[in-house]
């Protein structure tokens, strides 16, 4: 049974340095103040490692100004290295975490043109053995905190008449993955939220992109490997950047990676038999 997530390996609940974020200017040095920028601004959560870090680097290549958030300050500083990014460590699972992060981000730059909600936590093991506290932690970070953060950022986008919310879902949210029942449920919730919010925001100038990659491995090349069947974070990041730059509503996996979805939709009984077979 494994609990995994982006950022530091220690338990964030015991680290007072990341419990809250207070509005403050950018840290001195490489992370200069961003107010008055002509560049587009992206707030990326889960940016200390994995898909979040890769996404931040891809957006920086295109000239975006970045606000980077995560639980691991050192990881965020590695991601920000060589850019003008502002580092905003935060624990989004804390009761006031999303509100304080949004307030700090808007205080720093005055606007957010893209919110990439990449923070997440996973748990692997039999659902019947999953501790109640871990059920709450996964749902809090993977679903509740994301919804609260979007709620805090969205009014400024609607007022500006522009912006894009990027939600990091997963293929598990469509198909359901054994041993990852709660993670699958949270990602399915994000998919439904994305569709509902997209319809609600029609005509406001604000878009919603749902990203649903298949399995992602941190150590793989920049494109998916035939032998591993996994995507690299940089490959997913490139798809996120393309979706935002082209105002697309979805940024999924390559066509062959979506075959399980098609089998599930066309032949659900066959899909269940195939996915229940032992490895």
Residues constituting the chain = 279
CA distance 86 to 70: 12
Please state the φ and ψ torsions of residue 90, each to the nearest 5 degrees: -160, 150
The helix or strand, by DSSP H or E, that contains position 101, with its residue range, turns out to be: helix 97-109
Q: Which of 17-21, 182-186, 201-205, 208-212 has the lowest mean pLDDT?
A: 17-21
Task: Give the residue, 247 or 9, on which the prediction is more confident.
Answer: 247
Q: What is the model's pTM?
A: 0.77
CA distance 56 to 116: 9
pLDDT digits (tens, 9 = 90+) for 119-151: 988 889 999 999 999 999 999 999 999 999 999
Confidence of residue 161 (pLDDT cuts 50, 70, 90): very high
In the numeric block, the tokens 């107010």 are attached to 35
The string of DSSP codes covering 174-240 is HH--TT-HHHHHHHHHHHHHHHHHHHHTTTTTEEEEEEE---B-TTS-SS--TTT--B-HHHHHHHH
Q: What percent of the chain stands above pLDDT 70?
A: 71
CB 176 within 8 A of CB 124: no
Q: Is the pLDDT of residue 5 over 60?
A: no
Q: Is the pLDDT of residue 225 over 60?
A: no
pLDDT digits (tens, 9 = 90+) for 29-77: 233 344 445 789 999 999 999 999 999 999 999 999 999 999 999 999 9
Confidence of residue 110 (pLDDT cuts 50, 70, 90): very high
- pLDDT mean over 99-105: 97
């Amino acid at each position: 049974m494994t609990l995994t997530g982006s950022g530091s390996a220690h338990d964030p609940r015991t680290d007072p340095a990341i419990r809250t974020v207070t509005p403050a200017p950018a840290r001195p040095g490489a992370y200069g103040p961003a107010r008055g920028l002509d560049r587009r601004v992206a707030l990326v959560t889960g940016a200390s490692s994995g898909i979040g870090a890769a996404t931040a680097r891809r957006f920086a290549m295109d000239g975006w100004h970045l606000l980077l958030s995560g639980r691991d300050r050192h990881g965020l500083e590695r991601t920000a290295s060589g850019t003008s990014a502002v580092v905003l460590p935060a624990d989004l699972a804390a009761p006031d975490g999303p509100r304080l992060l949004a307030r700090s981000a808007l205080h720093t730059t005055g606007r957010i043109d893209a919110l990439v909600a990449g923070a997440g936590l996973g748990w692997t093991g039999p659902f019947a053995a999953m501790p109640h506290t871990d059920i709450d932690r996964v749902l809090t970070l993977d679903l509740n905190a994301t919804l609260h953060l979007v709620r805090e950022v969205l009014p400024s986008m609607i007022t500006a008449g522009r912006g894009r919310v990027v939600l990091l879902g997963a293929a598990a949210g469509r198909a359901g993955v054994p041993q990852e029942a709660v993670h699958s449920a949270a990602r399915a919730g994000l998919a439904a939220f994305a569709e509902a919010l997209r319809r609600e925001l029609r005509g406001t100038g604000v878009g919603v992109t749902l990203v649903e990659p298949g399995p992602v491995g941190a150590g793989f090349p920049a494109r998916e490997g035939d032998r591993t069947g996994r995507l690299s974070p940089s490959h997913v990041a490139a798809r996120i950047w393309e979706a935002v730059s082209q105002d697309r509503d979805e940024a999924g996996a390559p066509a062959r990676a979506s075959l399980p979805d098609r089998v599930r939709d066309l032949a659900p009984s066959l899909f269940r038999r195939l996915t229940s077979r032992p490895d």
